Amino acid sequence: MGARSKGNEELRENVARIAARAGGLLKPVALPLAILAVYCACAWGLWLYGANRAGRPAVPRVDARQCPWLSPADLAAINYGVEMGSQASLFDRGICDQVAGCYGGNPWVERVVAVRRHFPDRVDVELAIRKPFASVCRGGYYHVVDRLGCRLPVTPSSRPDSRWPVIEGVTAAPPAAGEFWDDECLNDSLRLAELLDEVLSRRGQSARLTAIEASKPSGGFDLRPQMVAHTAAGMAIDWGSFNESRSKAFPSASEKREELERQLKLLPDLSAVSCIRVRYREGVVVPREAPIAAGAVGMIH
C-alpha cells in the first residue's frame, strides 16, 4: 500500500514538472497568439460587415466638371444603361468587366482606362472622353469629329460651330457616330490642324485656326492632299501636303513648321499679311493689299 502511494506521488510530481516546463515554453508566445486571435476576429467581423454593405454597390456616374463640352443630354447618354443587378456584390470580380462593357459601347467614350472596386460599396471608373476637335463640311452639313477623325454623336448642323475649325474637301460619306471617318483629306487635315494649333496658340485670338481647305490632286509630283489653312485674322497658310520626308521640290512637314515659325516671329501684325506660303523650299510672305482710298469725283479739264 505504501509503495502504491509513493508511486502516485511520483507520478503527480512528474506531471507537475512537465506542466511547468510547457508553461515556460508557451509563456513567450502567449501575447503574439492573443494578438493574432484578436486580429482574426476583427478581420472576420469586417468581412461580414463588408459582405452585407457591398451587396449593392452604388452605380458610377461621369463627372461633368472635367468635360465642359458635354451637354446634360450627352451625360445622360453616357450613363444610360450602366446598372448593377440586385445581386451585384463588390466581391464579384466580374463587376469591373460588366461596368467597363456598359461604358465602352458609347460613342463619346474613347476607352475605359480603369475600373476599381473600393471597399465597402463603391466602384470608380476612369474614362477617356472624346473631345470635339473640328467640323467636317459634307453635303451642306457640318459633322463634329475628334482629333482622330471619329465622328461624335452630335446632330449635324447647317451652320458650323465657331469653336472648332472647319475642314472642307472631304469626299467620303460620313460614318455612324463612334466610327472613324476614312478619308485621306480629312486625316491629313486633322494632322495639320493639330500642328497649327501648337504653332498659332501663342499668337493670340487673331491667329486662331478657323478652316482648312483640302483637295486631292489628279496628277503631278505630289499626289497627297494639298491644303490651305485660314486664321481668324484672314491670313492664309499655303501648306501643301503633309509629307513626312522631304523631296527634291517640297520640304518635309517638320521643315515647313520651322519656316512658318520663323516667318511668324518676323510678323508683328498678322492682319497685314494675306498669305504665308511654306509649300515650297523658300517661304514666301504675301502682304495684304491696302484698300484704295475713295477720292472726289469730278471732271478733268
Read off the pLDDT of residues 142-163 as tens digits, 9 standing for 90 and up. 999 999 999 999 999 999 999 9
pTM of the model: 0.73
Cβ pair 278, 260 in contact under 8 A: yes
Q: What angle do CA 284, 287, 288 make, to 5 degrees?
A: 145
The band of 300, judged by pLDDT with boundaries at 50, 70 and 90, is very low
Cα separation, 240 vs 163, in Å, equals 25
Quick one: the chain helix, strand, coil %, rounded to 5? 40, 20, 40
Range list of β-strands (E), 47-133? 109-118, 122-129
* Helical (H) or strand (E) element with 27: helix 2-53
The β-bridge partners of 287 are 273
- Residue 25 predicted with pLDDT over 60: no
Q: Which residues contact 235 (CB under 8 A, 6 or more apart)?
A: 207, 270, 271, 273, 274, 275, 276
What is the model's pLDDT at position 288? 78
What is the DSSP code (8-state) at residue 180? B
Query: Cis omega before residue 107 (within 30°)?
Result: no
| Closest to 129 in 3D by CA, of 78, 177, 80 | 78
- Residue 287 predicted with pLDDT over 90: no
What is the model's pLDDT at position 85? 55
Cα separation, 137 vs 166, in Å, equals 7
What is the model's pLDDT at position 270? 85
Cα separation, 220 vs 216, in Å, equals 11
What is the model's pLDDT at position 274? 93
Would you call 186 helix, strand, or coil by DSSP? helix
The CA distances from residue 98 to 12, 93, 159, 173, 272, in Å, are: 68, 9, 39, 34, 58
| Mean of the per-residue pLDDT values of the chain | 81
Cβ pair 143, 151 in contact under 8 A: yes
Would you call 283 helix, strand, or coil by DSSP? coil
62 versus 190: the higher-pLDDT residue is 190
Which one of 58-62, 273-277, 280-284 scores highest in mean pLDDT? Answer: 273-277
Cα separation, 107 vs 150, in Å, equals 9
Q: Which residues contact 263 (CB under 8 A, 6 or more apart)?
A: 276, 278, 283, 285
Give burial (CB, 10 Å; 0-12/13-18/19+) of 64: middle
Which structural domains are found in the chain, ordered by start? 64-129 (no CATH), 134-287 (3.40.50)
